[in-house]
Chains A and B, each alone.
Chain A
Amino acid sequence: MTTQASTTAYPSGAGGGEPLLSVRDLTVTFGRGGRAFTAVDHVSFDVQPGQTVGLVGESGCGKSVTSLAIMQLLPSRGNTVSGTVSFAGEDLLSLSDAQMRDRRGRDLAMIFQDPLSSLNPVVPLGTQVAEVLQRHKGMKNAPAQKRAAELLDKVGIPDPTRRLKEYPHQLSGGMRQRALIAMALACEPRLLIADEPTTALDVTIQAQILALLKELVQDSGTALIMITHDLGVVAGLCDEVNVLYGGRIVERAGRHDLFARPRHPYTGGLLASIPRLTEERGRRLTPVPGSVADNIPWDHGCAFAPRCASEIGVCRERTPELVPDRPELGADRLLRCHNPLESNPLDDAPTTEESGA
């Protein structure tokens, strides 16, 4: 790999104050030697208490691997993790398995895309929630069950005492995801990582879950890392957005700044490629050509170059660094691009009438 300057370029915490989670140069490599594949490549970001940070990208961009590496849930063999992940001043990557088990569920919790496979199918829901409380808070069974019922109630599961005795398959997808959120929140963690929490759910249920997450973050001050491919979810929920491509952060900005003026051609391409309900019908979508299979390695230049409409000569010669962007476009913006967009691609999008025959 080429030399990295991301640490030096990284500005100090956005809101001042000590960040709750500070990820620096997190790198995850699968395999060894010639067939090694770097899934996450020197990713750095901070999460302030009570802040919602989005990691956005498509399949294979490394967003899920990042979260698993933070939680140390990657398989112990076949990969190498480097960098630092300091959580409240403590480097999680240097903790032992046993120490990490104590932190997981108590200080950091995670919810996943598929709520059914994240729950044990043969154990009643109440036992699963109570287990977390017994493990981390040393509660006895009876009070743990009572607390479990309160938690289920808090996440909006009706008739919680009856639900405690039920099994995961008896709940709907939305209710299962609520139950998982209840489990994740059982010990009032300071950081919650949500990995595509609504992708498997219907839109009306998705709206319920997002509203719930938003409310929880506001009420309890829990910091949230939201991992998603859906820019709509990001727009409504995240304070700060990191766009990942090919394992690296290519752009970071506050959500208003990012959607008002996407600077990286990939971000702009994503925004221009999705139809939206609020716009006039008839705009022809502007797709990003190719697929992630067309990437070039980062050490040959910019991984996105083969798919990029703004590609210039230098893109395939020199690796772009993640550097602060023009401050007038928003505070603390970072960008990794040789030839950033100068206008919002949506403003000059062609319509069907113009481009069609």
Chain B
Amino acid sequence: MTTSTPTQPTADQALPDEDVLLDVRGLKVHFPIKKGVLIDRTVGHVYAVDGMDLQIRRGETYGLVGESGCGKSTFGRAVLQLEEPTEGEVLFDGTDLASLRGEALRRQRRHMQMVFQDPLGSLDPRQTVEQLLLEGMRAHGLADDAKAARARLSALLDAVGLPKNALSKYPHEFSGGQRQRVGIARALSVDPKLIVADEPVSALDVSVQAQVVNLLEDLQEEFGLTYLVIAHDLAVVRHISDRIGVMYLGALVEEADADDLYTSPLHPYTRALLSAVPVPDPTVEDTREQILLAGDLPSPANPPSGCRFHTRCPWRQATRCDTERPQLRVVDLPGTPAGHRVACHWAEQIASGELRPHDVDMELTDQTLTAGPVDTTLGAKGLTDTLP
């Protein structure tokens, strides 16, 4: 993966069409906040995803990082049409998924699959691995020939490194890493082009995480898969991704090649995020400088005006930051490739050292609206009435 796709620096963000597998334009997912005893009244919205533009090339791994509540999981689900987008287009291989309904959408699902964070919760506890794997194949007519289906089952198990006798087992009989392998095999069972992996390793033991990371890399090479990896762990994302997008309160704040992002982060939030990741090396830990962000993520139901990050930004300026929402743009800095885009008014001045960080007063956010992790609770509510 890291070697197979040489990244071609393109002049413009709009990549050549034949190269792009997934093209998301202006995607918004807003969840209504309802109140009322008899008749529900919409009193506001949670702006979970609020204007996302993102292109993923065929065969590449795109890493999406951000903290809980930034809308990254909702975005992943909206791409797969498991969450109905409020606005925007999701062009997959040229087809706008957001406009598809019913059977047409169901047929498209074959081409894009999901790997979940919780390997146990995402596997039906009452089905054997065989039933789990056959289900998707049956739904898309891939299991009509019983003999071919058997061969495919064993090829799938083989691909994810599980022994044959796993077929008759139930999910609770596996270890966490093995369950995640079953989940990956299920995603592969319908022969998808795109896999959205939502925190694929964060629920696993440290020693097992590397098994799954390596497996994902091998499978990409073997089947020519395209990945959208959503995670909060920057080290993991940087390891497996070709390009990385950093998300904050529903939108991208920076997008760059994996190496660029680490060596020259341009957005203040990216800098803070990178500096906060603990490094398993005491010498590094003792010497490195941390940018400690003040306070918490503001409520996505009431996002700050202007730049969403200005309430916590150590580089916040008196003008523009709180009034004008910055768009992703290519900065005018020597040595910055065109693929490196950032949504910050002052990126050039911060990078050149012209602007210095200052102290930030902690501003408290009212947590009553966002008491739970927004990604899951509200996401779940959104599902209720949109079965395919």
User: Do A's and B's CB atoms come within 8 Å in the complex?
Assistant: yes
Enumerate chain A interface residues (CB-CB to B < 8 A): 58-59, 156, 158-159, 169-175, 202-208, 210-211, 229-236, 255-256, 259, 266, 269-278, 281-282, 284-289, 291-293, 307, 352-353, 356-357
For the complex, give the distance between the alpha carbons of A205 and B67 in Å. Answer: 10
User: Would you list which residues of chain B between 283 and 341 have a CB under 8 Å from chain A?
Assistant: 283-286, 290, 292-293, 295-297
**B384 interface hit (Cβ, 8 Å):** no
Give the secondary structure class of B's interface. Answer: helix
Sorting the interface of chain B by its residue count into under 10, 10 to 19, 20 to 34 or 35 or more gives 35 or more
Most chain B CB inside 10 Å of its own CB: which residue of A173, A275, A293, A353: A275
Stretch from B24-32, B143-151, B200-208 that touches the partner: B200-208
By the criterion CB–CB under 8 Å, are A281 and B238 in contact?
A: yes
Q: How far is the CA of A207 from the CA of B272 in the complex (A)?
A: 10
A159/B364 contact (C-beta < 8 A), A211-B292, A234-B280 known: yes
Take A203-B234, A276-B281, A356-B3 as given contacts and tell me if A58 and B205 are in contact as well, using a CB distance cutoff of 8 Å: yes
User: Which residue of B213, B235, B282 is within 8 Å of A235 (Cβ)?
Assistant: B282
Give every chain B residue within 8 A of A59 (Cβ-Cβ).
Answer: 205
| Closest chain B CB from A204 CB (angstroms) | 5
Contact A288 B210 (CB under 8 A): yes
Give the complex CA separation of A352 and B282 in angstroms: 26
CB of B207 within 8 A of CB of A202, answer no
- B67, B205, B210: the one within 8 Å of A292 (CB): B205
A271 to chain B, nearest CB (A): 6
Q: Chain B contacts of A159 at CB under 8 A?
A: 364
- Complex Cα distance, B240 from A156, in Å, reads 36
Q: Which residue of B lies closest to A355 (CB)?
A: B214
Nearest-Cβ distance from residue A27 to partner chain B, whole angstroms: 24
B290 lies within 8 A of A211 (CB): yes
Bound CA span A118–B238, Å: 34
Beyond A173-B296, A289-B211, 8 extra complex contacts between A and B, CB < 8 Å: A169-B368, A203-B277, A270-B206, A274-B210, A276-B280, A281-B238, A285-B214, A287-B210
What total of A-B pairs shows CB separation below 8 Å? 170
Distance in Å: Cβ of A126 to nearest Cβ of chain B: 16
Identity of the chain A residue whose Cβ is nearest the Cβ of B176 in the assembled complex: A291
B232 within 8 A of A: yes
Complex Cα distance, B371 from A285, in Å, reads: 37
B175 at the interface (CB under 8 A from A): yes
Which of B208, B210, B259, B371 touches A169 (beta carbons < 8 Å)? B371
Q: Contacts A172-B365, A276-B281; is A205 near B296 (CB within 8 Å)?
A: yes
Q: Is the CB of B364 within 8 A of A158?
A: yes
Chain B 247-298 residues near chain A, CB threshold 8 A:
258-259, 262, 272-286, 290, 292-293, 295-297
Q: Chain A contacts of B282 at CB under 8 A?
A: 235-236, 255-256, 259
For residue B21, give the distance in angstroms from its CB to the closest CB of chain A.
Answer: 22
Most buried by A among B3, B272, B280, B368: B280
Q: Residues of A contacting B284 with CB < 8 Å?
A: 235, 278
A292 to B208, CA, bound (A): 10
A275, B206: Cβ atoms closer than 8 Å:
no
Asked whether A275 lies within 8 Å of B281 as measured between CB atoms, the reply is no
Does B235 contact A277, Cβ atoms closer than 8 Å? Answer: yes
Shortest beta-carbon distance, B357 to chain A, in Å? 15
**Bound-state Cα–Cα, A170 to B372, Å:** 10
**In the bound complex, do residue B274 and residue A202 qualify as a contact, i.e. CB atoms below 8 Å apart?**
no
Flag B189-232 by CB within 8 Å of A: 1 or 0 each.
00000000000000001111111011001000100000000001
